[in-house]
């Protein structure tokens, strides 16, 4: 699958012939200055929770592309009220068959409120299955033994985990999460954007190597094949 990193926790994956964009936060991110939001393609926009650093560009991209927003119920409803036409508001444990394959919302240990302070429900992660393979994006979360359930039911090609610590898992817990879900490689996200989540890249890569895992840290704007 083709994976493109747009900085912070925003990335897109080509799966099942569709472009899935996750947690778009580009225009307010100084590290992603060179990314032109107006050129980002999306058939679906998957939003893990309501925090500003995950939803900033959802409305613009959804309106321009006509992409369907897939999100926890309260987050999806908030976007509907903001005029986003195509919204699939789901909830934890629920799965749906869609053009690209299947998506299931998993639990995440974090918080969720919308940028205007309204209730954002509970944060989620996503398991995506397609003809090209399956992957798991945990969303912002602590390490949780619930991740073992993901590993029991899905054979994953890769995972995407936050590794910046402070607001989410750090690298050590992300490595345990990789074990829980049964992946040997994962993409690290949610680091470097803000001072408390500055990452020691070398130390993180070393920790992954010592744990027998492949940690992928694509540059912002870089596409990789996984
Ligand atoms: Ni958050
Ligand atoms: Mn976040």
Indicate the domain borders of the chain.
Answer: 2-217
State in Å: Cα 153 to ligand 1 middle: 26
pLDDT tens per residue across span 114-128: 999 999 999 999 999
> What is the average pLDDT across 54-74?
98
Give residues with Cβ within 8 angstroms of 219, minimum separation 6: 5
- Residue 76: the pLDDT is 98
- Residue 7: the pLDDT is 98
- Residue 172: the pLDDT is 98
pLDDT tens per residue across span 80-122: 999 999 999 999 999 999 999 999 999 999 999 999 999 999 9
> What is the average pLDDT across 53-57?
98
**CB 36: neighbour CB atoms within 10 A?**
11
- Residue 209: the pLDDT is 98
Copy the structure tokens of residue 153: 């039911």
Copy the structure tokens of residue 5: 């990193």
State in Å: Cα 122 to ligand 2 middle: 13
State in Å: Cα 168 to ligand 2 middle: 8
Give residues with Cβ within 8 angstroms of 223, minimum separation 6: 2, 3, 4, 5
> What is the average pLDDT across 127-138?
98
pLDDT tens per residue across span 149-202: 999 999 999 999 999 999 999 999 999 999 999 999 999 999 999 999 999 999
Ligand nearest to the CA of 53: 2
> What is the average pLDDT across 213-218?
98
- Residue 128: the pLDDT is 98
Quote the pTM value.
Answer: 0.98
Q: Average pLDDT of the chain? A: 98
**CB 92: neighbour CB atoms within 10 A?**
17
For 24, phi then psi, to 5°, come to -70, 115
State in Å: Cα 121 to ligand 1 middle: 12
State in Å: Cα 97 to ligand 1 middle: 27
Fold of 2-217: Metallo-beta-lactamase; Chain A (3.60.15)
């Amino acid at each position: 699958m083709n994976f493109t990193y747009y900085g912070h926790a925003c990335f897109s994956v080509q799966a099942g012939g569709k472009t899935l964009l996750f947690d778009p936060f580009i225009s307010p991110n100084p590290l992603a200055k060179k990314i032109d939001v107006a050129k980002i393609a999306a058939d679906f926009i998957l939003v893990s929770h309501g925090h500003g650093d995950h939803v900033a560009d959802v409305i613009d991209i959804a309106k321009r592309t006509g992409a369907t927003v897939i999100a926890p119920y309260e987050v999806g409803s908030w976007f509907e009220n903001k005029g986003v036409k195509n919204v699939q508001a789901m909830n934890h444990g629920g799965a749906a068959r869609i053009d690209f394959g299947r998506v299931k919302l998993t639990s995440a240990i974090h918080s969720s409120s919308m940028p205007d302070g309204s209730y954002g429900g509970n944060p989620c992660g996503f398991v995506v299955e397609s003809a090209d393979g399956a992957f798991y994006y945990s969303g912002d979360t602590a390490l949780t033994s619930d991740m073992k359930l993901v590993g029991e039911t899905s054979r994953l090609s890769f995972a995407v985990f936050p590794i910046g610590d402070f607001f989410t898992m750090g690298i050590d817990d992300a490595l345990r999460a990789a074990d829980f879900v049964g992946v040997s490689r994962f993409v690290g996200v949610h680091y470097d954007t803000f001072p408390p989540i500055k990452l020691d890249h070398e130390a993180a890569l070393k920790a992954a190597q010592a744990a027998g895992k492949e940690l992928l840290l694509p540059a912002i704007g870089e596409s990789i094949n996984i």
